[in-house]
Structure 1
């Protein structure tokens, strides 16, 4: 019985990769030093897995930015606009790579970044491959081969990980009409065969091909592509052991297709879809092994060993030990690195910590499960089993978990609680008179750059080096400075900058009952952006107002309108590690009631516009369309509960980013936000097509400035985007704003970009 892992966190236990990349981008770290940092993280990760006892250790799961972008570079899917960077000798492959991810604006070159969107239903963002009708592929980067050789020098038995060719194409986007990207499979497959041939030449025994699209709805064309690819691979490399990895859902009606493919092992996610085991065991070909994804790669709760052992025994009884493998459910990319780093009991209580497992601990769970099955008398494994079951049982009965008051309030919700007092048409007229905003009103999404000084104040305050009064005084000065700057630049609706907030989810979770936190529980969101998700362990409620003081203070400084800024219930849920002992819908409704209380208090405090951000609502959509309605019903209801109590004159905004809206536009409209702001600049306003086709009735702010790139767009560029927006959306509905919050950007680029944005809005008003 083999153990293996599908992937390990690439950021480093202390976010070493984030710090190295950002230093390189800032020009304070050389390319060689950055590459050395990546090598150190990779090797540390391999040794952690080797020391844990993992039999097959992944390579090529490490990335400086994103694994899908890595694959695009590997197969030479490089859009034409980057060719000048390739030809410009001072630029390295690293510069090309980061230009594709972040854009490039220096040395006389100015190119935009590639699009970015969510990785299935996670909060991880990937760089979307771009394809043309005549797209050619070639082996451009030998990263995977180099990492195999690197690991071999350390004595690591590797299992290279590649995004499977069919899923890679489906993850991409056609950049011109007249073809379907799946038609490119014949052009792409020879490059994969080249890679596999080199891997085999380098002594690789197992290769993991990730094909997560096998858990989605597929058409006949896509199914035929899978048959073509895997039959060709088997014919070309009969001795190479291929593991086909699926995750995030069950295969459903794709199971007959999968079991017909000539592969050596099939990985299935038994956390997200435990019910698929029986049908897979019945259908699995005689010599194919099964990889049981039993340890949750996306959440932090300890594995229930007793339950997992029952599953393993069922598979062993059917197939024999030699055909059963044990693994996490998916890559541990989505897990924090190491629970052992959580040493501050004031931040993470020992009882709650006893219920948890991070990536390093999950490796131990995988190996322990093997030991319990293969050598049931192993004393160390039996001790771990006893400790595990004690933790699992203690969590079920802990008084920290349940609140009768919270449960009763959620149960007493009435239908009227999920509706505004009047229709949008009525509200709109009242709001226009009440707010007195110009056409094409300008605003930002919420946060402004958090400089090193701001972050240092927070760190000093937490360490007791600043008193609360001193810390508050500094934040007030920063808030006033940013209010004055917004007035000066000419923005119409201001924000207070959110300098008191560490993260748009963590900040609220820290003030809600039922949430716990970690000191070092970082996970990658995109590129160098890491987040530290809260841990929802119990019933959720709001003991006191969370944002009112800062919103009131900012509003007191100016005659202009200052938005109140909140994170919505679905996003607070999606971007946390959520308790798994009750339906997510129940937890979400508890959060919605807490946010409703905050919305009502903001209105009472004189805040005229309240933004409730829901960037994760599309992300939470189930992967199978048959399951969409049930989710959307409670997700939309949760937002409406949060927003539904205010007067008609109070304008409710929401924000969504990096999502495809076409399939859920009706539900977005049903949220009934007065204004929605969305990411649009990377897609050149393509995302607006869904709103136009639906004739979306409410107001829209299509982002005209990509905040995930350091490049500063010109006024003319933004006017061009807004003119595109005007072609499909009535101009009376349009707002002007960036794609997202500006927390991670620098002040110099922010000032320039927002000044250009305001001038773009003025240009449109003059016309």
Structure 2
């Protein structure tokens, strides 16, 4: 019989219980015991939900209070020394590694001051989820530092739920990490022999607890792996199999094509493999060919990365092909990846139209899809299964004929795009000569990325306006007061280029999407981005167009109350695409071009309204990059950069275009291809100065993110001076802008005021130094 499987479930809770709990704990409002109790409740609900849905193979250890990779670092004692000297509890160590920690001394209680920055945070493959990068050194001592996987397996078992524990595999864990700043000559994969005994130890403990199988995720198999990493698989998994006899290991990949690395895993002693056929169905024949007679095939066919309903007809054909090749007892119908990347429950959506709601499937609904597909393949004649299949066929037909999807005018405009639309009037040197005469910026000009703290008062008033409790006039008056507050503060600390603070914006994608035809919005469609930061991605359901200006009013008001220049702030086409759930019936290039035309109109309107500096942010540019080098990646480089340039190239030379990137490990050549006048880059957690040296010959200007806005700690003036001094050893002072590494939306006002004041003081210090 074909079994059903879910690789992981969202851990945030149906009503964002995890966010509320962790932030309450950080604020000292609840104890660690209360925090753990809420985590246990979420896990219990998740396991029972899956069991009641009829899922055969349910994951455990998919829960985390912050990040599953960070959990593994804590479990395996991969904790840099700077986090161990304060005697923190395990949960506080976890949070300090994830978000930094800064506490004053309390001499009366004998408590020493704590000041430690967070570890580097980067994007999880091509998703908007961020993981905390493991950081290794020559002195790293792997040892089992807790029992989380075993504890959660036993917790589920006590509830009567048999689970399959999930761990990131050893090679992926090392490859996704990096060497610490004092061990830059270290290749993390060289630590494999030291790490494997700890994996064996935890797997044996799971076996002793009653686990029959374990899911080891090796998602790096969809990367271009160096030969030494490919070679590591055979020996590593032979040692695991030998060291943990009797425990089935399912090696799991997702997010792409494993074929270039297939030789590395073709003869592994594992009980089965999982492959993602939603992202790469073309790999089917070749991956099936490596299976040994006893190995199982987990067919990733229900999309863990998008909200569209599964098309049962196409999925059943592929599953049946798997059954025909290997037999029903060796096939598992599964989600393509963990459902971490999807909202929890469509039943919580009450404001969507019935037509659009009928197109979607969230994590809870995907459980039914997995179960329905496996039941049909097993020959079920149950009335509920028959009804589900009939309703799904009707969905496919309804979506194909829906009038909300196609807009001939938008399609005509995209077809008319030509190469000239992506070119500024002149190259940057000529533009800069005109701009510097207008702006007269000092050396090391200071600015921020855009947003300022979203206070409780802002959220309350936005909610009142949305519910009709205050009028549009009252809400606009409130927003203007908030804008003036932000402008006056920036003038007070003497920032050079100001922003209006974005108090009217709930999210940098959703805010604009709400004003673009072709988008749909959820009420409770939250997805974890990192830690307690959740986003509610809009869904692109049809062709995209802008009925009216989206941001001009607020920008014009902000500019009218100051003599300094205020940046217009927009979200770029690739970020709008990648931070939405995109259509699955239209290629992403075309969707990006539709968005670029929407933004081109907005940029031109801002310029016409007197806004001379316009920032079009592209923090998600890296997420769209195909995971493997080659023709597909090169094509993406071309159309992604062109879509940005189409958005920004309709303005005069005198209008300065900025862009921003964060946590993206971008190739500098890709940034250069955008031809923005000024780009700001996350640099607060970078240990390698060579990254900036790659911009040495770049004529355009670069703003370096000097402090981590995802952490509550406040850098001192001296810390800024030290960081800027190191950068200036390799980078041209004349092209160096000074800014935070991202927007300040999630920070509090007090830490924002101090951090920005220290940043400006450091910039002035260097102005004085370079003026001598």
Asked whether the 8 Å contact 1:125–1:526 carries over to 2, the reply is yes
Counterpart selection for 2:634 from 626, 629, 636:
629
Q: How many angstroms apart in 1 are the aligned matches of 2:6 and 2:343?
A: 15
- The answer for the alignment partner of 1:341 in structure 2 is 348
User: 1:3-31: CA deviations, max 9, x gaps?
Assistant: 11111101111111011111111111111
Partner of 1:619: 623
Unaligned 5+ runs, structure 2: 106-112
Aligned to 1:478: 482
Aligned ranges for residues 345-360 of structure 1 at < 5 Å? Answer: 348-360=352-364
Q: 1:667 aligned to 2:670?
A: yes
- Where 1:159 maps in the other structure, the secondary structure is strand
Structure 1 residue 685, shift from structure 2 partner: 6.2
Following superposition, the deviation at residue 684 of structure 1 comes to 4.2
Q: What's 2:681 paired with? A: 678
Which residue does the alignment assign to 2:110? none
- Is the CA contact 2:712–2:747 (under 8 Å) kept in the aligned structure 1? yes
2:144 counterpart residue number: 139
CA distance in structure 2 between the partners assigned to 1:422 and 1:442 by the alignment: 26
Report the TM-score when normalising by structure 2: 0.97
Listed as ranges, the matches of 1:527-546 within 5 Å are 527-546=531-550
User: C-alpha displacement at 1:728, in angstroms?
Assistant: 1.6
Q: Which residue of 2 aligns with 1:688?
A: 691
* Deviation of 1:82 (Å): 0.7
Q: Which residue of 1 aligns with 2:93?
A: 96
Match of 2:47 in 1: 46
The separation in 1 between residues aligned to 2:471 and 2:32, in whole angstroms, is 41
- Superposition deviation, residue 468 in structure 1: 1.0
**3-state DSSP of counterpart to 1:113:** coil
Indicate conservation of the 8 Å contact 2:447/2:498, yes or no.
yes
1:352-501 superposed matches below 5 A: 352-501=356-505
CA RMSD of aligned residues (A): 1.0
Report deviation, 1:195.
0.2
Partner residue, 1:700: 702
Instruction: Give the aligned partner of residue 726 of structure 2.
Output: 724
Query: What is the aligned counterpart of 2:736 among 734, 737, 757?
Result: 734
Residue 134 of structure 1: CA displacement?
3.6
Counterpart mapping for 1:644-659 below 5 A:
644-659=649-664
State the shift of 1:141 in Å.
2.1
Q: 1:702, 1:734 within 8 Å by CA — same for their partners in 2? A: yes
Q: Which moved more, 1:606-615 or 1:682-691?
A: 682-691
Q: Report the more deviating stretch, 62-71 or 228-237.
A: 228-237
Q: 2 CA distance for matches of 1:493 and 1:548?
A: 18
SS at match of 2:563: coil
Contact kept, 8 Å, 2:707 with 2:741, in 1: the verdict is: yes
Distance 1:648 1:727 in 2: 31
Cα contact 2:66–2:98 (8 A) shared by 1: yes
Q: After TM superposition, where is structure 1 displaced by more than 4 Å over at least 4 residues in a row?
A: none
**Residue 313 (structure 1) aligns with:** 320
Cα distance between partner residues in 2 of 1:220 and 1:59: 32
Alpha-carbon displacement from aligned partner over 1:256-277 (angstroms, at most 9, x marks no partner): 2222111101000000001111
Decide whether the 8 Å contact of 2:693 with 2:731 is kept in 1: no
> Which one is further off, 703-712 or 27-36?
27-36
Kindly indicate whether the alpha-carbon contact (under 8 Å) linking 2:231 and 2:264 is maintained by their aligned counterparts in 1.
Answer: no
Aligned equivalents of 2:184, 2:723: Cα separation in 1: 20
- Which position in structure 2 is the counterpart of 1:759? 761
Could you tell me how far 1:718 is from its partner in structure 2?
0.6
Displacement of 1:695 in angstroms is 2.3
1:526-568 CA distance string (max 9 Å, x none): 0000000010011011111000000000000100000000000
CA contact under 8 A between 2:253 and 2:274: conserved in structure 1? yes
CA distance in structure 2 between the aligned counterparts of 1:165 and 1:406, rounded to whole angstroms: 48
Structure 2 distance, partners of 1:236, 1:93, is 28
User: Any conservation in 2 of the 1:685–1:702 contact (CA below 8 Å)?
Assistant: no
Matched, 1:248 2:255: yes
How far apart, in 2, do the equivalents of 1:715 and 1:560 lie?
Answer: 24
| Structure 1 residue 755: Cα displacement | 0.7
The aligned runs of 1:100-119 (5 Å cut-off) are: 100-106=97-103, 107=105, 108-119=113-124
Residue 133 of structure 1 and its aligned partner are, at CA, apart by 2.4
Deviation at 1:687, TM superposition (A): 6.8
The superposition leaves residues 477-498 of structure 1 with CA deviations (integer Å, 9 ceiling, x where unpaired) of: 1111111111111111110000
Q: How many residues align?
A: 757
SS in 2 for 1:591: helix
Tell me the distance in 1 between the aligned counterparts of 2:684 and 2:559: 30
Residue in 1 that maps onto 2:226: 219
- Specify the SS of the correspondent of 1:430: helix
Match of 2:108 in 1: none
Report the counterpart of residue 287 of structure 1 in structure 2. 294
Contact 2:123–2:623 under 8 Å retained in 1: yes
Say whether residues 1:278 and 2:277 are aligned partners: no
Task: Measure how far apart 1:727 and its partner are.
Answer: 1.4
Contact 2:259 2:286 in 1 (8 A): no
Q: Distance in 2 between matches of 1:682 and 1:251?
A: 31
- Tell me the distance in 2 between the aligned counterparts of 1:622 and 1:80: 36
| SS class of match (1:566) | strand
Q: Secondary structure at the match of 1:4?
A: strand
Counterpart-to-counterpart distance in 1, 2:42 and 2:417? 50
Q: 1:580 aligns with which of 572, 580, 584?
A: 584
CA shift for structure 1 position 70:
0.3
Distance 1:386 1:450 in 2: 46
Task: Give the secondary structure class of the aligned counterpart of 1:487.
Answer: helix
Distance 1:78 1:604, change over 3 A: same
Pairs within 5 Å for 1:174-193: 174-175=179-180, 176-193=183-200
Q: 1:327 aligned to 2:334?
A: yes
Equivalents in 1 of 2:689, 2:640: separation in Å?
Answer: 25
8 A contact 1:406–1:541 mirrored in 2: yes
Q: Note if 1:268 corresponds to 2:271.
A: no
Shift of 1:690: 5.5
Cα pair 1:299 1:577 within 8 Å, conserved: yes
Q: Is the 8 A contact 1:60 1:160 kept in 2?
A: yes
Equivalent pair of 1:443/1:493 in contact (CA under 8 Å)? yes
Distance in 1, Cα, partners of 2:526 & 2:388: 26
CA offset at residue 463 of structure 1?
1.2
